[in-house]
Amino acid sequence: MNISGKLIAAAALSALFSSVPLYAQLGNGVKFTTPFPFYVGTVRMPSGAYVVNQPHDLFSDVAIIRSANGQRSAQIITNSTESAQMARGTFVTFEKYGHRYYFDRVRVAGENYGIAAVPNRSEKRQEEMASVTSRRSVAVQGE
């Protein structure tokens, strides 16, 4: 194998192994409960108990949020995140624009990896319409 072939193989392996910690983190799902309704993309989810996880595909950039009773579910495109510090607790964070909460990110206790939702057009529009003082992040404890 020539040098360029070795470099391509090394890059591919590096990409594969950088995805593994995030998959392991959300593989069993993160449970959380919200006292408020929220949006996952354009889907409105009522307040209640939920589980967020990712499909078993190592290269998945999608998170699935399901109600604990299985009656509601929604998918959203996500990006991997990484922090220099490990999370002290498991948190699911929501962005609030005006009166609407949007699913934003997940951090898991003891991990420095996480996921962040990619905002869709509806969320971006809400963000533009919201005043600076009405925009805030709200975290709920997960398990």
| pLDDT over 70 at 29, yes or no | yes
In DSSP terms, 75 is beta-bridged to 64
Q: What is the pTM of this model?
A: 0.74
| pLDDT over 80 at 22, yes or no | no
> What residue segments make up the domains of the chain, in order of their start?
3-141
Lowest-confidence region among 8-12, 73-77, 107-111, 135-139: 8-12
Burial class (CB in 10 A: 0-12, 13-18, 19+), 75: middle
Query: What residue spans of the chain are helical by DSSP H?
Result: 3-26, 121-129
In DSSP terms, 136 is beta-bridged to 96
Strands 38-40 and 43-45: antiparallel
| pLDDT over 50 at 23, yes or no | no
Are residues 19 and 80 in contact, defined by beta-carbon separation less than 8 angstroms?
Answer: yes
Q: pLDDT tens digits, residue range 82-134?
A: 889 988 888 898 888 888 899 999 988 888 888 999 988 888 887 777 765 44
DSSP 8-state code for residue 33: E
> Which residue has better confidence, 15 or 131?
131
Are residues 53 and 143 in contact, defined by beta-carbon separation less than 8 angstroms?
Answer: no
